[in-house]
Structure 1
């Protein structure tokens, strides 16, 4: 698949930006049949038969409902009726809500009822589990030009645990990630069937997709640019959408639209990391700037799948999970960020 060319006028309008261009590989996942020999999303991995399958032991986060006493609910309803402004809670309500939160316990996230059922308190709690991880993607260096090759590895396998986890160290709420780097030639007698993984969130189960890798050039988020170029980029009417690729990709630059630019130092050496992989909820195909030339003018309904969400994966609030890798430390340590 091919991305439409960046209009020359857009680059010319920002003199000096071209010097900061960096290649990235758009993966262009599209539903299809895949094998363990392919680069893909959501397919079987080329996994050695004598190597244990990864298991997630990180506590998963689950939602629990807690019964509430009717007396407390009645007092809350009476306090709400006493409001002088419908959208401003009273001091009495505030006290009652604190009482309710204390009753529900740590992880309190609100209260309510569903389908006419009883009103209950909601809380998120961590529960231990040992869950075989789920295959997310397999990337071959032969197919993906921007894939790193730490220690001579030419194959990256991405697995995660398809439950929400509170990963405080990374400040990420979502699946735990395991990256496995290996040399394809070393895999003999590959595993036929991996152990089944329990799934807590269906949108963490990727649909099998073939990849159509394409190397492009993209440019930094404005906050990563020096002045005065940063100021010029900030004034561009649609800088991020014009110069930064959406969707699943390897390499390139990270967007920081939710948090502003954050440091991502290596947890081993404290040196800089580099964006290695983006797992995105959408491909950005709704915008002509990033819609593949091959799909331009095609009736989306004729494709048999959602071209903007081909993998079925949703992370965060339809955001992106980004993997930053240390380019120098042995073992390719990484850290996560979610936007």
Structure 2
């Protein structure tokens, strides 16, 4: 697949930006049959038969509902009725919110009702897996197919797995992740696929990727505005990110910090800098980026065309609120430690 080129003269309007360009590989996952030796999303892994299957032993988060007494609900509604400005809290309203939070307890996230039923407070609590849960295959990437894939220790194959439950982690909320770097030449014998496990009612079905073939394409992208030199930073406009930073699944390139603004991504082991290795995105493009980043081969798809979803949301994965999970790795340290960040 091919990304439309930048409009003529776009880089000329920002002198010096071209020197900061960095390649990244757009993976362009699209639904299709995949094999155990292919680069893919959501397919079978080239897994050594004698190697233990990765499992998750970290507690997962479960939402619980706590009933709120009717008299407390009545006091809250009376306080809300005293507002003179719609989004400005009335006297005593904040204290009532704090009372609800104290009632619901640690992990409080809000309150509401379902279909007009009783008001309840919501909280997330951590529960251990009854038994270690098998990790699900997310992606398998071959360096021969993905030119921007790092090669720590001479590895030429990366396998990514995760646990399809919500977990509260240091810098992210979502699945736990396991990375496995390999040399293809050392993979001998009959490959086997790790078990997929059961997601069940408390797992998250949007963490089970649809099997997708990849159509890798190396594209140049540019830094997030706040990471530009000062003389360039003041000259960018509101369209900079959608023009110069690619959405979708990618390997390498620059991180988009539109949600939190830039922050450090230190190696968990040596505290040194890490590099962006993989972005797992909820969508390939949206209404604000489709004209720039929708592949040339799919420009004919109309917004109302049902086939658009195989192009726009090919993997079925949804991270956070239609965001992206980014994996930063440290190639200097043994075992290639990594850091997760969700935007």
Q: TM range, normalised to the smaller chain?
A: over 0.9
- Separation in 2, partners of 1:110, 1:123: 7
The equivalent residue for 1:303 is 307
- CA drift at 1:311: 0.8
Report if the CA contact (8 A) 1:55-1:132 is conserved.
yes
Mind listing any 5+ residue stretches in structure 1 that lack a counterpart?
none
After superposition, what is the alpha-carbon deviation per residue over 1:206-256, rounded to whole angstroms, capped at 9, x for unaligned?
111110000111111122222312222x2x351111111111000111111
Give the 3 Å change call, closer, same or farther, for CA 20–162 of structure 1 in structure 2.
same
The equivalent residue for 1:249 is 250
After superposition, what is the alpha-carbon deviation per residue over 1:50-76, rounded to whole angstroms, capped at 9, x for unaligned?
211111111111110112223322333
The equivalent residue for 2:42 is 42
- Separation in 2, partners of 1:310, 1:178: 22
Give the 3 Å change call, closer, same or farther, for CA 299–89 of structure 1 in structure 2.
closer
Give the 3 Å change call, closer, same or farther, for CA 192–323 of structure 1 in structure 2.
closer
Residues paired across the two proteins, number:
335
TM-score (structure 1 length as normaliser): 0.93
RMSD: 1.9
Task: Give the 4+ runs in structure 1 shifted more than 6 A.
Answer: none
- CA drift at 1:86: 5.1
The equivalent residue for 1:279 is 280
For 2:179, what is the secondary structure of its paired residue?
Answer: strand
Mind listing any 5+ residue stretches in structure 2 that lack a counterpart?
none
- CA drift at 1:192: 4.5
Give the 3 Å change call, closer, same or farther, for CA 231–92 of structure 1 in structure 2.
closer
Report if the CA contact (8 A) 1:133-1:197 is conserved.
no
Report if the CA contact (8 A) 1:264-1:273 is conserved.
yes
After superposition, what is the alpha-carbon deviation per residue over 1:179-226, rounded to whole angstroms, capped at 9, x for unaligned?
111122322222246241425112111111110000111111122222
The equivalent residue for 2:8 is 8
- Separation in 1, partners of 2:17, 2:193: 49
Report if the CA contact (8 A) 2:210-2:314 is conserved.
yes
Map 1:138-149 to 2 at 5 A: 138-149=140-151
Give the 3 Å change call, closer, same or farther, for CA 189–19 of structure 1 in structure 2.
same
Greater displacement, 285-294 / 312-321: 285-294
The equivalent residue for 2:73 is 73
Report if the CA contact (8 A) 2:267-2:329 is conserved.
yes
For 2:71, what is the secondary structure of its paired residue?
Answer: helix
After superposition, what is the alpha-carbon deviation per residue over 1:263-320, rounded to whole angstroms, capped at 9, x for unaligned?
1121222221111111111111652211111111234626374311111111121111
- Separation in 2, partners of 1:161, 1:146: 26
Map 1:100-249 to 2 at 5 A: 100-129=100-129, 130-167=132-169, 169=170, 171-187=171-187, 188-192=189-193, 194-198=195-199, 200-232=203-235, 234=236, 236-249=237-250
**1:338 maps onto 2:339 in alignment:** no
- Separation in 1, partners of 2:239, 2:84: 44
- CA drift at 1:117: 2.1
Greater displacement, 25-34 / 98-107: 98-107
- CA drift at 1:2: 0.6
- CA drift at 1:84: 4.9
TM-score (structure 2 length as normaliser): 0.92
